[in-house]
């Protein structure tokens, strides 16, 4: 029973922490939040800023983010662009970009990491 609680906690606590951080930061944001299809994200705006990422970086798959916000990754753009634009093309090919994005990056990848952690803990439990 303790292991089940531990395993579920490992799955849920990062999400809880993410919500706590998000909701703690939200009241401190002064700029107009980005809204799309009736949903307000409340994190970052749609305005172009050279100082920080905004939804422009996400919505315009141009080099704006690479020029102003990703200086440390510049030597790796030849590799990361293939992966980044590959995922974007994959998501658009599903005709449901947002859902595909959430399923892959918010559900499946996190479940995979969670599975690996639980598997690692299980191996440690068996060997001790």
Point out which residues bind Zn ion (CB under 5 A). 53, 57, 65, 69
Give the shortest CB-79-to-Zn ion separation in angstroms.
18
Specify the residue, 30 or 71, whose C-beta has the smaller distance to Zn ion: 71
Give the shortest CB-25-to-Zn ion separation in angstroms.
18
Q: Please provide the size of the chain in residues.
A: 128
Give the shortest CB-72-to-Zn ion separation in angstroms.
13
Kindly write down the DSSP assignment for every residue of 33-93, as one continuous string.
Answer: PPEETTEE--SS-SS--SSS--HHHHHS-SSHHHHHT-GGGGGGHHHHHHHHHHHHHHHHH
Specify the residue, 11 or 56, whose C-beta has the smaller distance to Zn ion: 56
Distance CA 25, CA 111 (A): 26
Specify the residue, 60 or 94, whose C-beta has the smaller distance to Zn ion: 60
Specify the residue, 68 or 114, whose C-beta has the smaller distance to Zn ion: 68
Q: Are 53 and 65 in contact (CB under 8 A)?
A: yes
């Amino acid at each position: 029973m303790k292991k089940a609680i531990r395993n579920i906690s490992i799955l849920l606590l990062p999400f809880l922490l993410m919500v706590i951080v998000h909701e703690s930061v939200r009241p401190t944001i002064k700029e107009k939040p980005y809204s799309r299809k009736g949903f307000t994200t409340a994190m970052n705006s749609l305005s172009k800023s050279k100082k920080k990422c905004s939804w422009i970086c996400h919505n315009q798959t141009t080099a704006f983010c690479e020029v102003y916000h990703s200086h440390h990754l510049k030597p790796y753009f030849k590799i990361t662009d293939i992966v980044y634009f590959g995922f974007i093309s994959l998501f658009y090919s599903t005709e449901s970009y947002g859902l595909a994005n959430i399923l892959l990056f918010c559900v499946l990848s996190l479940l995979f990491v969670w599975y690996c952690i639980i598997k690692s803990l299980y191996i440690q439990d068996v060997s001790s």
